[in-house]
Amino acid sequence: MVPISTAKVFYFTPNRFDDNAVVESADLDAHVWLYDPLLQRIRNKAYGGPGLDLVERKVKGLVQGCVCDHTPSQSWSYNEFTGQIQHLGTMGLCLNVDKNLYVVYCDTALLSQKSTLTSSTPKYR
């Protein structure tokens, strides 16, 4: 058994959701993401491999799931005090979760930038 990471793995789900969205129980894992602070990567729980990737390095820049290749565009940091997820390759830009994923200037007053992390044990394969 080889650990995926020697760091703690966290689950986070955005605090803000579309009120009109109906999520089937089978799709719940698609809304849960894993954060590895050692690798500074965020991966989808349901699909395992895809990680969050900043496609456009600008305000309102698109964020989407891509194969994790450990490029700087996939480096993220979670601030446990503010609940924000900051992109490490762009100064002052945080993940914003509305109907789409994108980055905007970090603002602690925006609920769309708040996420909750729950500690979990690293998985082994």
* pLDDT tens digits for range 86-102: 999 898 999 998 878 89
Contact 33, 16 (CB under 8 A): no
Q: How confident is the model at residue 6 (pLDDT cuts 50, 70, 90)?
A: very low
Q: Does residue 9 or residue 41 have the better pLDDT?
A: 41
Fold of 9-120: Trefoil (Acidic Fibroblast Growth Factor, subunit A) (2.80.10)
Contact 87, 93 (CB under 8 A): yes
Amino acid (1-letter code) at residue 59: V
- Model-wide pTM > 0.85: no
Domain segments of the chain as ranges: 9-120
Measuring CA to CA, which residue among 7, 25, 10 is closest to residue 83? 10
Q: How confident is the model at residue 104 (pLDDT cuts 50, 70, 90)?
A: very high
